[in-house]
A and B are shown apart, each in its own frame.
Chain A
């Protein structure tokens, strides 16, 4: 048996022995996601057990180096672990912007002291991070951001406003883009800085969305004092860090298109639409839409797998995550349009026991942000046109 096959069988055995049965069921509500952080609570005992076992193996971040709390797996082993977890339906033990976004940026741009300080706490779910990028007048045109950091001895004083800050009201720390040189050209005067959300002068205000939920906040900074040592990478070169991180963010968001609702869409639809004597959906047009969707979903899943393998082989285009972000988010919107259509009138219930508080329509409305957040579909297509296709004037 090759080393990798040995790793596969050991991993399978370990997962079978350690993943509680409750953690192998599809997630049905926000409570099923464990985000970590100072004020976190587990929604169930199996959730706690599963998280702690995975954390102790370093498998909340399987491919990070062991010295920072990771599992130290190589890419092939990491792929095996993901495949084995997917095969048994094991939930992710820890969801975190620290893992998906900040971690990779720190690993590439952070000082040794910054890595030692922050990465183990992300891996162990001790600190929950949020992202301070967008501003009221800097959305798609992110680099025009105005939040300013003024030098004051060894510190900066940060003043300004961020918007669409996911879960800022629950976050412990923020990674934030600030303008450290107001005179430079717009991409050149930006720095990437980290600070504690409990700092004096930080306040947040949740934004009520069309889904009826408030996953995003407005975040205000009023002379927040932050040590200069908290800058990641070079001062005024924060755009490099920001772009690198955005690639990871886009890869994360594109993954949404692959995350199903657990059961195959065709069977979910059969619950409400019904089937004929041959087992085919009663609504042939909907059946066709679902099959076409599932073809695209399977193809996207192959493309996501290939993107990882190309990166490993050193053949990936750095802007490819924009292509995946575009396709994955548009696909996820399609999924939820189909779910609404399949659910018919039942899927319109907003406040009822049977609808679990309108879970389906609220999720449908939430997905409309997918093709906006992290860069709109139009911005993604522009990036593909410019950086991959090299079209003129793009």
Chain B
């Protein structure tokens, strides 16, 4: 397989780019932030996303989606990264759609996937509990109770948790924190008794929530996949999410870089365009190289997920780690090279810096994935 987009994929990119840059430029995020919008994204735009077929991209055709792969999902994420469009796409169409298609029973798939595809159901994945992403350390307790389970514990950094119609919750049904065995995924109604959801406005003006479970009841048919054996399913879904966020960071890096190079060609000091100074030329060139290499690594991870899912772990770790360091560099250079203007809220660059910081933490930062890679390679 060639490590470039094919014709259909290029067309998808063009249509996603057209829609997103037209309907949701960075000013869209700015408006939502300034208005302290309760939803944090535009439901009308999400309807448009569904009509374009994006919301059901990863949903199998049998359940009303287009049955496309991670490369296609990554293409949309990259375009989202270019304008920082706040959207349920990641939580609902990438994570929840993957979790349900990969782990759901026929009944669960029929119940939820068509609604994800047509944009009428929003979902969120509740994994993290502490300050850092450590899925193996999941402590939230699932205790058997009658025909089902009772969930107790805390979740943090649940992307779109405040608007979700469905929560997918990782819980420990056996064993103790740190063990692979004993994790179970549950489909939970966020309105159920014993669940308290607090929206946490984040630094990047995107959406997340803290959720407290206090003996929240789930029926046996709310188990996604197998009891105690949920880690493999979770890890697969997380890998899709990691590659998707890496794609978002590629789009974000590329956009910041483009804006910065444009600025270097406009801004004059000492009677010269600042882009004439070799100190800045070389830094810009280094950043360009960094972004291009990261772009290749991310596409490699997406293709590997589509071609041989179970062997994609290393490629995904490489992609997420690289994308994190590249985006961090891109936004820092972006602000620095914009000088004082880069520090102002009026300029968009700061929005990219804030989003990059959040994307770093999502599903494991660069250090986490470097450690993962070392473990995979036994050192």
Contacts and interface: CB of A to CB of B under 8 A. Distances in A.
B297 A298 contact: yes
Which range contains the number of B residues in contact with the other chain?
Answer: 35 or more
Given A266-B374, A279-B379, A315-B4, A299 B282 contact: no
B109 interface: no
A380 B289 CA distance: 11
From B282, B293, B367, residue with most partner A Cβ within 10 Å = B293
B275 A391 contact: yes
Most B Cβ at <10 Å: residue of A269, A299, A312: A299
Interface residues of A, number: 46
Interface string B345-379: 00000000000000000000001011101110111
A287 to B, nearest CB: 6
Contact of A385 (B282, B317, B374): B282
A286 B315 CA distance: 22
A167 B306 CA distance: 46
A302 B379 contact: no
A280 B370 contact: no
B297 A294 contact: no
A323 B289 contact: yes
A299 B281 contact: no
A390 B262 CA distance: 10
Contacts of B370: 288, 291-292, 295
B4 A309 contact: yes
B3 A299 contact: no
Nearest to A79: B2
Contacts of B293: 296, 299-300, 302-303, 327
A392 B373 contact: no
A340 B248 CA distance: 37
Contact of B286 (A302, A309, A381): A381
Contacts of B317: 295
Contact of A303 (B284, B292, B319, B371): B292
A388 interface: yes
Contacts, number: 140
B242 interface: no
Nearest to A309: B2
A264 B377 CA distance: 8
Given A299-B322, A382-B282, A391 B265 contact: yes
Highest count of chain B CB atoms <10 Å: which of A292, A302, A391: A302
B4 A299 contact: no
B374 A291 contact: yes
Contact of B281 (A281, A309, A310, A382): A382
A280 B265 contact: no
Nearest to B273: A392
Contacts of A393: 272-273, 275-276
Contacts of B3: 302, 305-306, 309
B264 interface: yes
Interface in B248-292: 261, 264-265, 272-273, 275-276, 278, 281-282, 284-286, 288-289, 292
Nearest to A325: B289
B288 to A, nearest CB: 6
Interface string A158-178: 000000000000000000000
Contacts of A281: 374, 379
Contacts of B288: 323, 384, 388-389
Interface string A278-290: 0111000001101
21 contacts: A266-B377, A267-B379, A280-B374, A290-B374, A295-B369, A295-B370, A298-B297, A299-B318, A299-B319, A302-B3, A302-B296, A303-B293, A312-B2, A313-B4, A323-B292, A382-B281, A389-B281, A391-B281, A391-B284, A392-B273, A392-B275
Interface of B: 2-4, 261, 264-265, 272-273, 275-276, 278, 281-282, 284-286, 288-289, 292-297, 299-300, 314-315, 317-319, 321-322, 367, 369-371, 373-375, 377-379
